[in-house]
Every structure is written in C-alpha cells, then in structure tokens.
C-alpha cells in the first residue's frame, strides 16, 4: 500500500497532521511508536487487522486458564528446547490446560486451512516449562530431562502435571522458523501419565550405533511425521552414543528439513528430466504461492515478496523481495532466506521423488498484508505440499508458464525475473541444445 492510499484511509480522519509527521520520520525505531499512538484503533500501519490486538485478546483468553503455579493437561505431545545461553539451555514440556486429544496443537501437518486466529489461540494456550541443562547431558538421570525426552517420544498426548516455581509469564512469541509459543515458567517438577511410546521412535532411540541422519531417513520413509522427527531430534534421541545432544527447537526444524531434502536429492539428480513446464498454485493465510517446474536438470530457487504491513516488512512502503538458489551442484553456505528455503526444497523433492523425475524449480511467494504474524517454517513446507497435491497446469514453453503465473500474482513477472538467478539462466543462457533447435 502506498502513502497516497494510506492517506485516504479512515485512519487519517482523527489526526492527519500527526500521522504525516510520523510517516516523514526516517528513524525506524521511532516509527515503531506508531503502535503506541494508534492503540489498534486507527490502523496507522496500514494493516487490515492489528497483530498486537490479536495477540492481546488471545492472551487474555488464555491467561485465566494458565495463571497459576500448578497446571495439568494433555501435552500434544510437545517439548521445547531453547537456544539462549547455549550450551546451557532450557528444556521442558509444553502443556495446554486441557485434557483429551490435544494433538492438533503441535501437528502443523494438520494446520493448512486454519486461520491466523486459530493458530494464535491454540499456541498461546501452550505453556512452556523451563528446566536448565547442558546440551550434552542427554543421558543424565535428572528426572525432568528424562521425562522431557519420554514426552518427545510419546505416541499419544500424555497427561502432564506440572508445578512451577513462578506463574507463567509472557505473551505470544513468534519467529519465522518455529511455530508460535506462549507463556513460560521455570519448573519445580512435572509428572507424565497415561501414555505409550511411539515404537518406531523408541527403537531408533535405543539403537546407539545408528547415525542420526540414517535414523531420520528410516523413520521418514516409514511414515513418521516431520514434526515428530523434529521433536525427537531436538531432545537428542538419535545419533551415535556419546555424540548425542540437545538441539534447540529452531535449529532442529531446519536440520531435519535439510537432511531429508538432501537425502531425496541424491535420487532426484539421477532421474530423467521432466517432460513439460508445470505450474502449481495455492493461496493460504493471505500468501499466494506459485511453484514453477521446468524440464531441466536440478536447480532450485525460493523467492519471497513481502508487501508493506506484513510480518517481516512492517514499516517500509515498498515491497521487499528476497531470494536464494542452487544449481545442480548445490550450495555450500546457509541460505540467507532461512529455514523456509530447506522446508520448500524438501516438499518439491518429495513430489519429484514420487514421480521419478528431476526438474528446475522456482517457488514464488507473495505475502500480502493479511499475513500479520509469522507462524513458522511449517507454513512454507505444508503449503508447498498442499499446492503439489493439486493437478498442475501444463505448458509447452516457459513463456506460456510465466504468462499464466503472472495472472495469479500481483507483482509483474519482470520483477520476479529480475530477482531470480534460475529464471534468468533459463531465459537468457544459451545452451548447446539450442544450436540443434
């Protein structure tokens, strides 16, 4: 949204001079005070809904259920391993104040189609219990560490009875890598009951000669959910003997996506090339997705366009576009775009693996102002998966595929190409095969 359209909004009617003074400031830190001036009523930032208000009301609903020193409920199952203070980290259960089947609260594979409000609600009710430990102490006899691991290996939602040293505090915490999480509190103790182990995870845990990557691959191919693997990986359930360690939840999510994606790529790169241009598409949480597949050897790129007033572009009045890519030989550095890169790469390789094909893949994501809060890497993986479950549109030429993609996206295709290494290569790089055409 540009300044002209903002000035015509209802937000201008109460204090136009003040509003223009704010927009004229160049200091982003001072611009953030717009929230204090607006208080969720004038929408000075240009968003249709206020993310601060959304979090506040959800927190208000949650706190009356969790504002106490003792909390019992059924964990989805869910655990959290922090990263601050590494290698001394906080580990512990995540507990909602509900009993019964709470598995939806921490199974992002089931979240496609849920609204931002739904995701905020059931994540904010999840209280994080905190217990400090050293990352290498996975075999300690410390009861809270042992039970945290047992919880991560559970098949069904166990009943958890937790006793905190302080009342849970804090609101909704959001990152682009991990699912949102709610209040936290240091624990005195907690107990588990009414649960059984997932036998597949338990078997991998007791095999101390099995490498972590081999365990991940075997379990994944046996149908274990990505979210289950990430949870078990974070508590040091996989790997060879003394090399096991706790892995902060944020890191474990990307590590699992990356390792499984690389595993699938080993086969993808040996497959015959796709026979046509394909375009898959989907729309979720005010994000538009285009997955373009081209009949080339493996290459891959994720391009994200963030509109003003979205989660990661709250103050600028211009669309921000970021991208990362790899060609057939892969990449040697961590993608600057973050964990989303590896989540989407895994999803597209799942399809190519099933079809026995390789292809060049470009994913274009438009994040519009309705995306007021980041909800985690799962949003990328699961929405790309959802798009790839739909029948694709097929085209004879790249021009036709791009023309159709342009009709779905708001940003002109010329700007996508300008920010894309893979599309530039496909459009402008002359190849030996071209001589014979």
Same domain (yes/no): 239, 169: no
> In whole angstroms, how large is the CA radius of gyration of the chain?
23
Same domain (yes/no): 34, 67: no
Handedness of CA 112, 115, 120, 125 (dihedral sign): negative
Assess if residue 271 is contained within a domain. Answer: no
Assess if residue 423 is contained within a domain. Answer: yes
What CA–CA distance (Å, rounded) separates 142 from 146? Answer: 6
What CA–CA distance (Å, rounded) separates 297 from 265? Answer: 12
- What's the Cα-to-Cα distance from 29 to each of 22, 25, 56, 96, rounded to whole Å? 11, 10, 22, 35
Assess if residue 272 is contained within a domain. Answer: no
Same domain (yes/no): 300, 415: yes
Residues pairing with 31 in the sheet:
none
Same domain (yes/no): 146, 69: yes
Q: Is 84 exposed, middle or buried (0-12, 13-18, 19+ CB in 10 A)?
A: exposed
Please give the structure tokens belonging to residue 15. Answer: 């204090």
Residue with tokens 């590590």: 255
Contacts 24+ apart (CB under 8 A), 221-228: 224/198, 224/200, 225/107, 225/109, 226/109, 226/256, 226/257, 226/260, 226/346, 226/381, 227/106, 227/107, 227/108, 227/109, 227/378, 228/198, 228/201
Whole-number pLDDT of residue 370: 87
CA-closest candidate to residue 380, choices 237, 179, 92, 196: 179
- Kindly report the CA angle at 136 between 132 and 137, in degrees rounded to 5? 60
Strand ranges across the sheet with 88-95: 70-74, 159-164, 184-193, 127-134, 88-95, 79-81
CA-closest candidate to residue 52, choices 36, 66, 28: 36
User: Residue 12, SS3?
Assistant: helix
Domain end marker among 180, 196, 212: 196
Same domain (yes/no): 372, 302: yes
Same domain (yes/no): 125, 139: yes
- What's the Cα-to-Cα distance from 51 to each of 38, 274, 379, rounded to whole Å? 12, 42, 18
Assess if residue 352 is contained within a domain. Answer: yes
Assess if residue 60 is contained within a domain. Answer: yes
Whole-number pLDDT of residue 431: 58
Per residue in 302-314, is it b (16+ CB within 10 Å) or e — as a string?
A: bbbbbbbbbbebb
Residue 158 neighbours by CB under 8 Å, 6+ apart: 74, 75, 77, 151, 192, 193, 194, 195
Please give the structure tokens belonging to residue 141. Answer: 């006899």
What CA–CA distance (Å, rounded) separates 248 from 87? Answer: 10
Residue 49 neighbours by CB under 8 Å, 6+ apart: 370, 372
Same domain (yes/no): 289, 419: yes
Same domain (yes/no): 29, 59: no
Same domain (yes/no): 219, 127: no
Same domain (yes/no): 255, 383: no
CA-closest candidate to residue 16, choices 41, 48, 46, 44: 44
Helical segments of 11-161, H only: 16-24, 28-31, 34-38, 51-66, 116-124, 143-152
Domain of residue 332, residue span: 277-435
Per-position pLDDT tens, the chain of length 437: 332 332 333 333 333 333 333 333 333 333 444 554 564 556 666 666 666 556 655 565 666 678 889 999 999 999 999 999 999 999 999 999 999 999 999 999 999 999 988 888 888 888 999 999 999 999 898 999 999 999 999 999 999 999 999 999 876 677 677 787 778 999 999 999 998 999 999 999 999 999 999 999 999 999 999 999 999 999 999 999 989 999 999 999 999 999 999 999 999 999 999 999 999 999 999 999 999 999 999 999 999 999 987 877 876 789 999 999 999 999 999 999 999 999 999 999 999 999 999 999 999 999 998 888 888 899 999 999 999 999 999 999 999 999 999 999 999 999 999 999 999 999 987 654 443 33
Domain end marker among 163, 196, 229: 196
Under DSSP, the state recorded for 274 is P
What CA–CA distance (Å, rounded) separates 380 from 384? Answer: 6
Same domain (yes/no): 60, 139: yes
Domain end marker among 266, 290, 308: 266
User: Residue 358, SS3?
Assistant: strand
Whole-number pLDDT of residue 417: 97
Same domain (yes/no): 34, 75: no
* Residue pair 93/162 in contact by the 8 Å Cβ criterion: yes
Rounded to the nearest 10 degrees, how much is the dihedral formed by the CA atoms of 284, 156, 222, 104?
0
Number of domains, the chain: 4
Whole-number pLDDT of residue 392: 98
């Amino acid at each position: 949204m540009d300044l002209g359209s903002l000035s015509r909004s209802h937000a201008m009617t109460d204090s136009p001079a003040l509003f223009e003074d704010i927009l004229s400031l160049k200091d982003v830190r001072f611009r953030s005070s717009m929230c204090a001036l607006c208080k969720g009523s004038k929408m000075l930032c240009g968003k249709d809904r206020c993310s601060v208000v959304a979090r506040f009301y959800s927190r208000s609903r949650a706190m009356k259920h969790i504002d106490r020193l003792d909390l019992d409920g059924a964990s989805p199952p869910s655990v959290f391993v922090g990263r601050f203070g590494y290698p001394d980290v906080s580990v512990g259960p995540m507990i909602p104040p509900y009993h019964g089947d709470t598995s939806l609260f921490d199974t992002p594979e089931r979240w496609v189609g849920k609204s931002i409000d739904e995701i905020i609600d059931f994540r904010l009710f999840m209280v994080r219990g905190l217990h400090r430990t050293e990352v290498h102490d996975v075999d300690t006899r410390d009861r809270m560490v042992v039970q945290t691991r047992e919880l991560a290996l559970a098949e069904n939602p166990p009943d958890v009875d937790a006793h905190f040293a302080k009342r849970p505090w804090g609101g909704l915490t959001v990152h682009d890598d991990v699912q949102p999480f709610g209040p936290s509190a240091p624990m005195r103790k907690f107990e588990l009951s009414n649960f059984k182990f997932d036998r597949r995870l338990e078997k991998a845990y007791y095999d101390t000669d099995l490498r972590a990557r081999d365990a991940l691959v075997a379990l994944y191919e046996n149908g274990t959910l990505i979210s289950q693997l990430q949870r078990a990986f974070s508590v040091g359930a996989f790997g060879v003997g003394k090399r096991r360690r706790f892995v902060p939840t944020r890191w474990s999510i990307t590590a699992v996506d990356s390792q499984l994606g690389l595993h699938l790529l080993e086969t993808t790169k040996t497959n015959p090339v796709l026979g046509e241009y394909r375009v898959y598409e989907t729309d979720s949480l005010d994000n538009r997705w285009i997955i373009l597949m081209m009949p080339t050897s493996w290459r891959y790129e994720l391009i994200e366009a963030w509109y003003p007033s979205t989660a990661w572009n709250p103050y600028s009045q211009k669309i921000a576009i970021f991208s990362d890519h790899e060609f057939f030989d892969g990449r040697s550095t961590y993608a600057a775009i973050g964990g989303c890169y590896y989540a989407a790469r895994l999803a597209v390789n799942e399809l190519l693996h099933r079809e026995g094909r390789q292809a060049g893949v470009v994913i274009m994501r438009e994040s519009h102002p309705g995306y007021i809060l980041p909800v985690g890497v799962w949003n990328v993986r699961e929405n790309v998966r959802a798009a790839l479950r739909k029948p694709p549109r097929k085209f004879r030429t790249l021009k036709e595929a791009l023309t159709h993609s342009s009709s779905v996206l708001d940003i002109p295709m010329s700007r996508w190409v300008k920010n894309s290494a893979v599309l530039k290569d496909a459009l402008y790089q002359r190849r030996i095969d071209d001589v014979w055409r």
